[in-house]
Amino acid sequence: MKRFVLTIMALVAVAAVFAADPPRVKTKCGPWVVGVTDTEMTVVWTSTDRCMGWVEIAPDDGTSFYAEERPRYDEDFMGRHVVSDVHHVRITGLKPGTTYRYRIYQQGVDDSGHNPIPSGYISASDVYSRKPYAIRTMDFGKADCTFTMINDIHGRDSMMLALTKDIRSEKPDFVVFNGDMVSFMGSTEDIEKGFMTRATETFATDFPLVYVRGNHETRGPGFSEYLNLFPSTTNAPYFMFRQGPAAFIVLDSGEDKPDSDIEYGGTAAYDAYREAMAAWLKEAIQSEEFRAAPVKIVLLHIPFAKGTGWYGNNELKRLLLPLLNEAGVDVMLSGHNHRYSYLEKGDADNNFPILVNSNNDRVKVHATKEQIVMEVLDATGKMIHKHTVKVQ
């Protein structure tokens, strides 16, 4: 009996050791790359459990990724490597207009106790049987700029596939998500299932992503994860970047109804938020980076309305339009309305045209210092609208 009890105790001890062993974590969704500038980028992905994540990079010089030890970039915060199931690793010190291969890593950690216990198991993206992921940094000296924009997908996977399946072959400089890619941000999983799993399959591992927050990305308990999933250079959903001859201002619409609306249950505070964004915009359009760009493009989910629109439209127009009118903007690209429209100069007191894309089409843009050509393509790839704007 004593031997039996000892055997049981030993088995329990072994089971306890295995139970305490951190899980063998793998990539759940991703990676995708945001916040790309001429010298920096941020690699983002989600994992199957909490873990440490890091990234290695290598030049695109034809050598094997295994040819030498590659530089490692960790996800650090306040002196610790982050343990999470959402990872975003900022990589700095890059060269403009240069392609970098990259590889993501993760290692499980049990940090529930006083002393974190790392797993001996490390998983990583494949660089042996397939080509490593690769991203090209922005280049101010490039003669032109090309990008594709989609919006208002609202989690429709079939439409997401139809609109993004040709992006790899077209090789744009970056891709714009102009808001409302989901209807509700209940959790990170909503983002994964709604569009990011498909996006990483079709393009997002190898082409920079520019995300313009829509009003539906403000809804649900998962909204606070937005900047973890899509971090920006300003640590806010509004920011600026350059590519080739073009400077881009990315703005955040907030919600489309008054903060007091019953739909928000007392949680909305967008009046003060829009005021703060307008103060940022006033400084951004005076920056040398913006003023020196021959082409100036604005990305905003909710467009300015003709006459009087909903409260959100009216506030955006009151706060932002006077600043943009003075800034020499060449064109603004929006979504939100779920139907195509094109506002000429003056239609909404605007000094620049505004293209509003529908929820079933995409916009291909080619900008040079002389002109901006915008082609609206349906889900089959057929061009249904085309506009050419002469640069001011």
Which pLDDT tens digit goes with each residue over 24-68?
899 999 999 999 999 999 999 999 999 999 999 999 999 999 999
20's CB contacts (< 8 A; 6+ apart) are 110, 117
Domain hosting residue 87, numbered range: 27-135
- Mean pLDDT for 210-221 is 94
| Predicted local distance difference test score (pLDDT) of residue 129 | 76
**Same structural domain for residues 162 and 197?**
yes
Whose structure tokens read 């307008």?
Answer: 278
**Same structural domain for residues 368 and 280?**
yes
Is position 60 within any domain? yes
**Same structural domain for residues 231 and 127?**
no
| Predicted local distance difference test score (pLDDT) of residue 17 | 45
Q: Among 135, 156, 176, where does a domain finish?
A: 135
Is position 268 within any domain? yes
Name the burial class of residue 174, with classes exposed (0-12), middle (13-18) and buried (19+) by CB atoms within 10 angstroms of its CB. buried
**Same structural domain for residues 178 and 63?**
no
Q: Among 135, 168, 196, where does a domain finish?
A: 135
Is position 14 within any domain? no
- What CATH number did the domain enclosing 93 receive? 2.60.40.10
Distances (CA, A) of 111 to 117, 188, 322, 379: 6, 21, 51, 47
Q: Is the peptide bond before 31 cis (omega within 30 degrees of 0)?
A: yes
Q: Is the pLDDT assigned to residue 283 strictly greater than 60?
A: yes
**Same structural domain for residues 174 and 312?**
yes
Residue type, 275: E
**Same structural domain for residues 117 and 214?**
no
- Mean pLDDT for 116-133 is 89
Is position 13 within any domain? no
**Same structural domain for residues 47 and 109?**
yes
**Same structural domain for residues 110 and 235?**
no
Distances (CA, A) of 239 to 99, 232, 280, 321: 23, 7, 9, 17
Domains identified in the chain, total number: 2
**Same structural domain for residues 257 and 302?**
yes
333's CB contacts (< 8 A; 6+ apart) are 149, 176, 178, 297, 298, 299, 300, 354, 355, 357, 363, 365, 374
Distance CA 247, CA 148 (A): 16
Distance CA 252, CA 216 (A): 12
Phi, psi of 109 (to 5 degrees): -140, 130
Distance CA 94, CA 359 (A): 36
**Same structural domain for residues 180 and 261?**
yes
**Same structural domain for residues 165 and 131?**
no
Q: Is the pLDDT assigned to residue 15 strictly greater than 70?
A: no
Is position 321 within any domain? yes
Is position 20 within any domain? no
Is position 1 within any domain? no
DSSP characters for 24-68?
A: ---EEEEEEEES--SS-EEEEEEEEEEEEEEEEEEESSS--TTSS
Is position 6 within any domain? no
| DSSP-based three-state secondary structure for 117 | strand
Distance CA 55, CA 61 (A): 18
Q: Among 103, 135, 167, where does a domain finish?
A: 135
Which pLDDT tens digit goes with each residue over 342-369?
999 999 999 999 999 999 999 999 999 9
Average pLDDT over the chain reads 93
**Same structural domain for residues 115 and 149?**
no
